[in-house]
Homo-oligomer: A and B are copies of this chain.
Amino acid sequence: MTTINVSDTVRRGIREIREELVDLHAELRRNELVVWTAGNVSARVPGADLLVIKPSGVSYDQLTAETMVVCDFEGQLVEGSHQPSSDTAAAAYVYKHMRHVGGVVHTHSTYATAWCARNEPIPCVLTMMADEFGGDIPVGPFALIGDDSIGRGIVATLEGHRSRAVLMAGHGPFTIGTDARDAVKAAVMLEDVARTVHVAQQLGATPRLDDADIDHLYDRYQNVYGQKEGNQ
């Protein structure tokens, strides 16, 4: 096992993230977003060009803080005794090019992936979508795993977009967030709206919300909803 030379603060950050990722992968399962080993959460390490991510092909039951791996922004392993997730290159590219992103989640959750299989964006027909994503959920390009194509597709689609979710064509969804927990929340809410809009459209047309209403709802939710800092 490789160990990297970093400051004590960064080391503590890595330790905390390793533990949080165990909880967040459990959250993916509890929300039925993943089967077998098909999905992962990663997080940016504060104060370093590093990320922590799930090891490849390890079952969720066997995930511990120790099995998580640390990689640099080229996707190369810098600490850990397992191979990093196949999706590390994609996540690394996002962290490198979107500096406000602190967490990335990839799943093959059923309904979101079904929209991916049709290469079809999810239209904003529910207030919850306006609140959470600020509009439609966009489609990203089909890209093969193995280089930075997937990462580039994610960044090109989400850069400057309100949505924290992208539907990669023929593949599955990726979500981003200010931290890993926020990206997991986006993955959960994405599957929820993907399913609800799917079900709605099975029996008829779903009118899109007005843009002015979407703007109003998005602005309010981002600025008013939830507890103020120090409140919880």
Which residues of A line the B interface, CB within 8 A? 31, 35-36, 38, 55-58, 62, 81-83, 86, 108, 110-111, 113-120, 125-128, 144-146, 170-172, 185, 188-189, 192, 195-207, 209, 213, 216-217, 220, 224-228, 231-232
B86 touches A200 (CB 8 A): no
Minimum CB–CB distance from A205 to chain B (whole Å) comes to 7
- Measured CB to CB, the closest approach of chain B to A3, in angstroms, equals 17
| Chain B positions within 8 Å of A115 at CB level | 200
Q: Is the CB of B120 within 8 A of A227?
A: no
Provide the bound-state CA to CA distance between A31 and B192, in Å. Answer: 15
CB distance from A67 to the nearest CB of B (A): 9
Of B57, B189, B209, which contacts A35 at CB under 8 A? B189
The residue in A170, A201, A228 that gathers the most chain B C-beta atoms within 10 A of its C-beta is A170
Partner of A203, one of B35, B127, B198, B226: B198
A229 CB to closest chain B CB (Å) equals 12
Q: Which of chain B's residues have a CB closer than 8 A to the CB of A172?
A: 126-128
